[in-house]
């Protein structure tokens, strides 16, 4: 009976460790997508389409990572991602408007 309890505890620990690894990998993947979106928007800005650039930046950088984090149930990470992305978007809008 004690061995069964230990097996259950080990199984729980393995499951929790897997969830943490999944969260980290999704965050890394979201950051990669965010970087690609920034690069894509920079290319669009080179062709002088600033409004389209801002729209693409908002869609690609805010909503795409949010879906992954929402499905993982990581509410704090979702809030942090939204906050960080909107700050970056505001900085980019300021830079674009000054050019």
Q: Assess whether pLDDT exceeds 60 at residue 17.
A: no
Contact of 52 with 20, CB cutoff 8 Å:
no
Q: How many domains does the chain divide into? A: 1
Distance separating alpha carbons of residues 71 and 50, to the nearest angstrom:
32
What digits encode the pLDDT tens for the residues 42-93? Answer: 666 656 555 555 666 666 655 555 555 555 555 555 556 666 666 777 777 6
Q: Which residues of 56-67 are buried (b: 16+ CB within 10 A; e: fewer)?
A: bbbebbbebbbe
- pLDDT of 94 reads 72
DSSP conformation letters of the chain: -HHHHHHHHHHHHHHHHHHHHHHHHHHHHHHHHHHHHHHHHHHHHHTT-HHHHHHHHHIIIIIHHHHHHHHHT-HHHHHHHHHHHHHHHHHHHHHHHH-
Tokens of 44: 């669009």
Containing structural domain, residue 61: 2-98
């Amino acid at each position: 009976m004690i061995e069964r309890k230990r097996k259950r505890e080990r199984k729980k620990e393995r499951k929790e460790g897997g969830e943490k690894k999944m969260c980290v990998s999704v965050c890394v993947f979201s950051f990669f997508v965010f970087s690609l979106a920034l690069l894509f928007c920079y290319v669009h800005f080179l062709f002088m389409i600033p409004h389209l650039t801002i729209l693409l930046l908002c869609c690609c950088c805010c909503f795409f990572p949010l879906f992954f984090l929402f499905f993982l149930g990581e509410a704090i990470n979702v809030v942090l991602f939204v906050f960080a992305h909107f700050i970056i978007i505001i900085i980019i809008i300021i830079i674009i408007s000054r050019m």
